[in-house]
A and B are shown apart, each in its own frame.
Chain A
């Protein structure tokens, strides 16, 4: 991705990824955890602590990568993510209860 037309503003490398949720698609960055970005997009996600220790915000991760800048205290089931502290690192697909 090369941009020659824009003046060279101090480049803030904003990695944008797609989050698929059912028929919806939300764009998120790596700057903040997934939860706040979903909320801003008007999606209700269950939460309690917002700090990674209660597991209330656990969501299914169908595919794609997320990382945790700090290891959450809550147990993360395989195939799930903790929305309050997960940073999205690729396009991902998520799902609530089936």
Chain B
């Protein structure tokens, strides 16, 4: 039920950052009872537009009206009071508070001067139930995975009474298909109640599933606002990246060449590696010149398997053999000395060093690998940084920009560049394309395959199955914290993988 009543109107919004025009003269409007998707490449200005609405950033120019009245929100707090509730990109909650406290804080009911904690818990449980999440709300937020934290952030945004506008900045980038489904159900219900929803994502399918209208930004400029059902996908992509999307056929050709090679040289042998309560023991061979994909649902144990191999978590059974030496377990340092690198999934807490520049963030792993006494000359550092800024299309005014000033997706690209720049022999990439725009995704997939061509061993983990399938020569499929299958050659195709994930192997056994 979309009525044409305009709820939120932004006109002629401009926002400058040193060296960057993040928004130039952008117009945007949101109607009551509509889901309005905001799309664009990494660094296009989507999050900045949200920050202008919520009072985090002040625009140099422009006017915002809510239900016809001009508003000047000075902080997210102001915005909330006006009825604008927001889930910002990346989880923005307090890791030290409990789930219930995170959801209720600022809106607790007070009884006789005391916070009513049992009410807060009940409310939190009920809100999470809407999203079909059943967890112990008294536990600290930090105890939960990124996807649960994301659901908690969404539940918090739903907690605000009198919400007129709900803003969701990439809420689905770390959710699995089931969780996305639940989120969409809730969004559709809110829409029926006349709430206007701004929805940001890089997943085109999701946009076509729920959005009524789409607004596209490119390099801070408004490209246009379209009705979803009159905009063909190709045209949407074209308006986002300003050119045709590259054909992915070249990718499968590259992969084909890779698979055809006959002799494989093992890099690491994993035997019965496991950890109680985390992963059932599994065997695995990791070969040079090969992309090994880890497939499975979110929470099926893919990242945990990678952590056991790399030595972030210590296995309690099994062995690893690298360079003809057998280990009970590795540690991050031992792994690095053996030429193994891990690009972690959770970039916010494990990845970026926010007060260093883009260049420094890129070269740091390389520098560590060389030892602190062999300082990489400045000229070389800039060369490396420039190379990756080019090839990964990192949107930054210069290599000397502080990484914290980059957009979310561009930060992710920098982390990836950090590991691609090292001379590791075996690289584990955990969700390397999360939050990255479609244009660059293909670029990254290409890079992964060419690294394997150079003879490196690669483990590629992603929730997007088609992406893993497109890049991998071999795949390990996981379900419920267990390795359930290993596929090779032609068997690595979407249908096969989906069936196994859905539980076919169990049917066969029966």
Partners in one complex: no
